[in-house]
Amino acid sequence: MLSVIQFLLKKCGKCRNLEVPALVDWLSSSLCLLCHQMEEMDTEIGQNILTDLALVLLQNGFPKTPESEKKVEMKKVSEICCAVLERMLAWVLDTVATEKQGSASPTGKAVRCWLQVYSLVVFQGMAPPESLQPLFGHIFTRVLTYNPHLTVSDAIHLQREWSFARTSLLLATLYRKVFVAFQPEELTRRLQQVLETSEVNWHHVLSCVSTLLVCHSQADQLVKGLLGGLLRKAFANYDLESLITTFLIARQAALEGPALFPPYAEWFKLTFGNGSSLHGSSKKALIFFFKFLSQLVPFEAPQYLKVHLLHPPFVPSKYRSLLLEYITLAKTRLADLKVSLEDMGLYENLSSTKEASQPSCQALRDVEKATQIFRNTGKIPASVMEASIFRRSYYISRFLPALLVPRVLPETPDTRMTLIEALKRAEKISPNAYATYLEECEAAKRKPLREGSAEKEVGGPKEPLERLKAELEALRLLVTDADKHGAIPAQIAVISGKLMEVLGHVTDDDEAASLTLRVRLDLSAPEVGAADQGAVDLLLASFCQDVMAASFFLPPDRQGPWPSLFVKMICGHRPLLSSLLSRLCQLLYHQGPSLSDAHVLGLAAFVVHFNEAEPLLPPVDLCFPSVPQAALHTDLPLAGLWDYLLAPRSGDSALFCLRFCTAAISYFLCKFPSLSHEHLSSVLHPGFMKKLQYVLPRLCLEARETGYEGDSAAFPWKMLSCLPPCYQKAALGLWKQTRFQELLREEAFQLTLPEWLKMELQVLPDQDLLSANERQEFHSWSLHQHYLPRSVAAGGCGGDLTEMGALFTSAILDFLQRTEAEACSLQTNPKCSLTPARGNPDLYCRFQELVLELELERRRGMKEHFLFQVFRERLRALGTGAALGDRLLRQQELLSQTRILLSLPPSVLVATQKRGGEIVVACEGFFSFVNTELRNSCSRGCSLPYDITAHFFRGLLSTSLECSHPAREVTAVLSSCQTRCPILLCSAARWWPRLEFVLCSQWKRLFGAPLAQGLQSLKDLRSSLQSCLAWEAASLPFNTAWVSAACLHFTVQQQADPEEKGEVLRKLGPKTEQFLVYVLFFSVMDFISAKVAPQEGTDVHKDLEWSSRVLQRLVEEGLGWLAVFCPAGKGCELYETLRDAVSDQHLKMLPVAFYSLLFAFDVEKLIREQTFLPVALDMYAQLLQLFTERATMVGPSQEEQSLHICNLGDSLLLIQQARQLLLRAIPRCPPGSFSNLQEMLGLCGDLDPELKAALISTGGDLLEEGLLLF
């Protein structure tokens, strides 16, 4: 037949012109008939015939010879061939326009046979490119300009029916055949050329835009560029047609969903919503633009009018009337359509292809969307708050009734109830409405839910889910056939459309495109939205089945881009991501060990491509619902999430981690065999490599061997995809791969020692697969054979044992910080069945062994202990911020550091050094740590906790064994403590009843000699005090040393009854001024401690009474007592040492103690001292400062209140009383009190003008009188 056609073509060159149309008719009708008869013929033979015929027509219709060089006969042949091809194209387009059954009808099947010819001509290289470009260029132009009978108004009305999912399969196939012949840039150029030069068929143009967006991944940028060019031309030439074309194309592109193009509302805001927009360049441009919008109004769909009203274009204030006229016109049109802007939902999808929902249904969807946002963010959605103010009619009449639908409330408040309570606290729900809601919910408990209730309306219909399932099954047929991979992008676009139907109530245009969207994920008890559960499970299950089905026929690198397109399609539906990640958390973190092999392989592949699409995804906050303001980790990138979900804490979870990471890495290396090292970490999450480096050597001895040269065998994905797989064998095969070993040399993929320690600390020994002996062997290999000799650059220690100790210490401290935060949250979360990690005790043993080894080295080298260096560096990194969170974090760090010290031998706290040929005790490191850090973390003020106090003294005695004169060294250290670390001696005085037996027995065990003089002095002093309290002595022993005063104070507080305390003071006898002031100091500190930490068993009233008794004794004997409250550096050198023994917080609270004591006495007796007024004014100024700091804090917590005056009411009352006391006292103070008047006026400053005036009035007169006397 081919020869017949060629013969006819040769003869037709000699035909008369009248015979040419008949020949064209005959040829074209014969080709159509042949297409119709393809089903009756052998498919391959028939297709070959058609292809050969088309090739002849193409070669003659579009020959290489230029038109000018053709002979007359050849020109006629070319015209006939072009006419036949044109007639066949018209037949295709007529069929598309008239056949309702599409490709299922006989004519539709025949057309598909002809369309297949285009693909064979292109892909088999039968025709030269110079012939293909004109042919397909002509086809492209002809399709776009075919039968241009539709007007712009028709396009505005009908374009939502022209999305890709609704486009005729024949027309979409024709587009795809044309697309393969051109680059995307060339397609958009040709499209713009046709739009500018020809009258077009809007149906074909807009469906072509949809198909282009679906079939080309970079088409969105090209379409945006096309829109930008059309806009510039429109406003440069005031070209109405270009502006109309821009709007039609933008709306059409938005119909394909946010994964492919921004929603129309977002595009409109970005294009016309700012001052730099093209329409705002001049008054003429504004008039042109609003004239265009006004002309559109009679034809606009309501959703587009709503976009223009809710997101109006930017207009300078002087041209505001143009916008107001348009708003009036648009609202009138909405009223004519009986669409109320007030009834529009908060999250209505303004770019949806579906008709607007009824207001009541939309309100129910708004409630569910708002609940989902609240669950993700922990905050009331901004749209709800805005609606309560600016759209109050909808909020009151629609939203609140849908939110407050009566239901049976759960025992633990769910997200919806928490949102209701939050709105009530924000005064967005009235108390009456809230009370009515609770009453109706109680009534709902007593009767079953009615079938017509709103809660049942919220549940999504099953029909859209079934349609989604059918399209997913259709995708599976495509991924398993390499010849059908070209149809995959189109099928995934159809799936996206079906998914949008399923999730119609959550496809919010603003939320989908918002870059500020966050995902809040509860790691302990993840919740999947009820409306999303079915869709999420269906998508994940389908993906896993597709991976297994495709891997059965093809390796991953030959499966095409379907997995990436599938995952990116899901990422485009951003409101679904919260439920998707929660479901992944359930599967991987909670149910991982029970997953089947197919699920593990499929989810591993899914996670690889999910990581590939990370730029499309929002950050994640891992948190606990019981503490909505606190997060375990904020702004977590998606790749970091897998480190939390894959936690090898038990034997089962370690095996699952091995299975999952082996599958993920094997899939990745097979899927991307040629990916460069620079781009590896952007696709392959380094955590998978690190988890495998941790788990495999732990479970397999063979992996601990070194010196692998690398194996060039195939990656084990094929072994894994043939169920059931042997994961350990596959993991070892992967471990020995050359490329895998090369990856291990990359810094990003190396498992460092801190990371190894972090994982090993989380292991639960009672659930571990390794026995205690096996665990010890693994620790020894990891620490001493693997990481110790390894270079620092490779994550090791470079042979430095001290470096290993420092890394070990930091890892333990980080672990303690994390577990404390987790424990606090888990204890208050009733939904969580997890228990906080306790730490691996075997690893703590390895740490103690390491410290002991380093301790022996330090003894020889006489160096400072590495622990204090690590502590200082970590605390320096935390800073000294004044905010509550910073202080609590620092305090928690100090507690963890103290726990580490207490877990080590006491001798670690004390060093030795050579001095004059002798070995002496050196405590500078511990003294510095106490004075700078521990002192400020003690709630008791002037004493450390018992455990760290006893630990130090035990370490002191143990270390003194190395000295030539142990007793002398111990006494020397105790003496030096009086000035260098006084809080240690204060602590010894407080805890001596418990310390005495411990230290005396240890001394006897170590030396068998009399106690060191320093310890004996403390023992004797305490014994004398106890004898006196037991009425066995007539007077109390005392000396000028403050240590005696401390012992007296703590002994009295611990043993004396209230009525006995006065008798104790009377036994002191005369000349005890300095001693009593010391006692007053300690009593005041205990009073402050009772105010700061009342929960520790202290009694504020008893402490205040004891301080009052001491002060009473001082006042009665006319002794000076103000030195206790005198500002630092103001002639109170005797008490500077004691101030170094007290926390800074206690010193801040001195004004509270000062005025609390004053109110128990007659002021006339107290003001006789000339230094009273300056000290009282200084205390008053500090009291005001303390109140100011407290009052400016927003929402103080219980911890914050404990660090200040108990509450604002008490502090304000104390300030008022102090102020009244000063105003009464100032006129009666002796003249000498005003010697430093200017300084006292400076203390008042602008804080209290009345007090300042009283000082000037009284002090000025007294000074003048004094000057007259001289």
Using CA atoms, how far apart are residues 339 and 357, in angstroms rounded to an integer?
A: 11
At 515, list the tokens.
């870059």
Strands 631-636 and 620-623: antiparallel
pLDDT at 1266: 43
Neighbours of 481 (CB within 10 A): 12
Q: Note whether 166 and 257 are same-domain residues.
A: yes
Kindly tell me if the per-residue pLDDT of 123 is higher than 70: no
Same domain for 602 and 652, yes or no, is no
Longest dimension (CA), the chain: 149
Three-class SS of residue 921?
strand
Of the pLDDT bands very low, low, confident and very high (cuts 50, 70, 90), residue 131 is: low
Name which of 415, 346, 350, 418 is nearest 383 in CA terms: 346
The whole-number pLDDT of residue 1022 equals: 86
H/E segment holding residue 622: strand 620-623
What's the N-to-C CA distance of the chain in angstroms?
140
pLDDT at site 378: 79
Residue 747: band (very low, low, confident or very high) from pLDDT cuts 50, 70, 90: confident
E strand spans, 311-395: none
Position 1097 scores a pLDDT of 60
Higher pLDDT among residues 903 and 1197, named by residue? 903
Please name every residue paired with 1087 in a beta bridge, in sequence order, or none if there are none: none
DSSP string, 1075-1099: HHHHHHHHHHHHHHHHHH-GGGS--
**Domain shared by 410 and 504, yes or no:** no
- Amino acid 616: pLDDT: 72
| Least confident stretch, 250-264, 791-805, 897-911 | 250-264
Supply the pLDDT for residue 942.
84
Q: Which residue bears the tokens 């849908």?
A: 402
pLDDT at 1218 over 60: yes
DSSP state of 895: H
**pLDDT, average across residues 564-572:** 86
Is position 384 within any domain?
Answer: yes
482 and 607 housed in the same domain = yes
Q: Check residues 897 and 363 and name the one with the higher pLDDT.
A: 897
The pLDDT assigned to 1195 comes to 37
Question: Of 262, 293, 322, which marks where a domain is finished?
Answer: 262
- Is the residue at 116 inside a domain? yes
Using one digit for the tens of pLDDT, what is the confidence trace for 1094-1135?
655 667 888 888 888 888 888 877 777 888 887 765 545 556
Across residues 84-101, what is the average pLDDT?
79
- The top-scoring range by mean pLDDT among 81-90, 342-351, 808-817 is 808-817
Over range 366-390, report the average pLDDT: 81
Q: What proportion of the chain, given as a percentage, has pLDDT over 90?
A: 17
- Domain span including residue 656: 647-751
The b/e string for 312-331 (b: 16+ C-beta within 10 A; e otherwise) is bbebeeeeeebbeebeebbe
pLDDT at 1270: 31
| d(C-alpha 461, C-alpha 348), whole Å | 18
Residue 351 pLDDT level (bands cut at 50, 70, 90): very low
Task: Check residues 393 and 304 and name the one with the higher pLDDT.
Answer: 304
Residue 344 Ramachandran class (φ > 0 left, ψ -120 to 50 alpha, else beta): beta
Is there a single domain that holds both residue 585 and residue 520?
yes
Residues 90, 156 within the same domain: no
Top mean-pLDDT range of 173-187, 330-344, 346-360, 776-790: 776-790
Q: What is the DSSP letter of 1110?
A: H
456: pLDDT confidence band, cut at 50, 70 and 90?
very low
Residue 634: predicted pLDDT: 67
More confident site: 482 or 293: 293
Is the pLDDT at 343 greater than 60? The verdict is no
Q: What is the DSSP secondary-structure string of 1215-1245?
A: HHHHHHHHHHHGGGS-GGGGTTHHHHHHHHT
- Looking at the structure, do residues 637 and 510 belong to the same domain, yes or no? yes
pLDDT value, residue 729 = 84
Above 80 in pLDDT, residue 1162?
A: no
pLDDT at site 542: 92
- Our CA angle for 634, 635, 637, nearest 5°, is 125
pLDDT of the residue at 1001:
93
Query: Any idea which of 386-395, 835-844, 952-961 has the lowest mean pLDDT?
Result: 835-844
Q: Is the pLDDT of residue 191 over 60?
A: yes
Give the C-alpha separation, 666 to 736, whole Å: 12
The DSSP bridge partners found for residue 622 are 521, 633
Mean pLDDT along residues 1172-1187? 86
The amino acid that residue 1127 corresponds to is P
244 and 385 in a single domain? The answer is no
- Asked whether residue 183 carries a pLDDT value surpassing 60, the answer given is yes
What is the rounded average pLDDT of the residues 631-637?
65
For the residues 942-954, what does the mean pLDDT come to? 92
Overall residue count recorded for the chain in this entry = 1270
* Average pLDDT over every residue of 1146-1151: 88
What is the three-class DSSP state of 445?
helix
Q: Are residues 116 and 154 in the same domain?
A: no
Measured torsion, CA atoms of residues 406, 412, 414, 420, in degrees rounded to the nearest 10 = 60
Which pLDDT belongs to residue 353?
A: 43
pLDDT at 951: 94
Residue 374 pLDDT exceeds 80: yes
Cα–Cα distances in angstroms (integers) from residue 1114 to residues 46, 368, 1107, 1154, in the given order: 120, 71, 11, 15
C-alpha 363: how far from chain center: 30
Mean pLDDT of the region 182-191: 88
Residue 886 corresponds to which tokens in the numbers above? 């910073």
- Going by pLDDT thresholds of 50, 70 and 90, the confidence category of residue 628 is very low
Residue recorded with tokens 């859209």: 464
Residues linked to residue 912 through DSSP beta bridges, in sequence order: 921
Provide CB contacts within 8 A for 875, sequence distance 6+. 890, 893, 894, 933
Please state the domain count of the chain. 8
Shared domain for 423 and 311, answered yes or no, is no
Q: Among 262, 296, 324, which residue terminates a domain?
A: 262
| Beta-strand relationship, 620-623 and 519-522 | parallel
Say yes or no: 637 and 667 in one domain: no
- List the one residue out of 206, 201, 259, 249 whose CA is nearest residue 228: 249
Report the Cα 1023 to chain-centroid distance in Å: 60
958-1013 tens-digit pLDDT? 999 988 899 999 999 999 998 899 999 999 999 999 999 999 999 999 988 899 99
- Is the pLDDT at 1163 greater than 90? The verdict is no
Are residues 581 and 620 in contact, defined by beta-carbon separation less than 8 angstroms? yes
> Mean pLDDT, to the nearest integer, of 84-96?
83
Question: Could you give phi then psi for residue 864, rounded to 5 degrees?
Answer: -65, 145
CA–CA dist 79, 27 (Å, integer): 13
Output 486 or 710, whichever has higher pLDDT. Answer: 486
Q: Mean of the pLDDT values across residues 67-73?
A: 52
User: Are 580 and 588 contacting, i.e. CB atoms less than 8 angstroms apart?
Assistant: no
* Three-state DSSP class for residue 366: helix
In a domain, 997, yes or no: no
605 within 8 A of 547, measured Cβ to Cβ: yes
- Residue 71's pLDDT band, with cuts at 50, 70 and 90, is low
Answer yes or no: do 638 and 665 share one domain. Answer: no
Q: Which among 406, 429, 452 is the end of a domain?
A: 429
pLDDT band at 698 (very low <50, low <70, confident <90, very high): very high
Query: From residue 309, how far is each of 413, 1091, 1240 by CA, in Å?
Result: 38, 59, 64
Q: Is residue 996 one of the residues assigned to a domain?
A: no
Q: Is 987 part of a structural domain of the chain?
A: no
What's the token pair of residue 900? 């580490």
Residue 501 lies in a domain: yes
> Cα separations (Å) of 135 from 35, 43, 52, 71, 172?
20, 25, 16, 21, 18
Q: What is the mean pLDDT of residues 949-966?
A: 92
- Domain-embedded: residue 960: no
pLDDT single digits (tens) 874-924: 888 888 776 777 778 888 889 989 999 998 889 889 988 888 778 888 898
Alpha-carbon gap, residue 895 to 1264, rounded angstroms: 58
Q: Give CA–CA dist 102/96, Å, rounded.
A: 7
The closest of 450, 446, 373, 372 to 405, measured between CA atoms, is 450
The pLDDT value recorded for residue 449 is 35
User: Is 1200 domain-assigned?
Assistant: no
Q: What is the 3-state secondary structure (H, E, C) of 132-152?
A: HHHHHHHHHHHHHHCCCCCCH
Secondary structure of 28-93 as H, E, C letters? HHHHHHHHHHHHHCCHHHHHHHHHHHHHHHHHHHCCCCCHHHCCHHHHHHHHHHHHHHHHHHHHHH
Helix (H, G, I), strand (E, B) or coil at 860: helix
Q: What is the pLDDT of residues 804-855, one digit of tens each?
A: 999 999 999 988 887 776 655 545 454 444 445 567 888 889 998 888 888 8
**Least confident span in 161-170, 786-795, 1131-1140:** 1131-1140
CA distance 307 to 273: 12
User: How high is the mean pLDDT of the chain?
Assistant: 79
Q: Could you tell me the pLDDT band of residue 346, with boundaries at 50, 70 and 90?
A: low
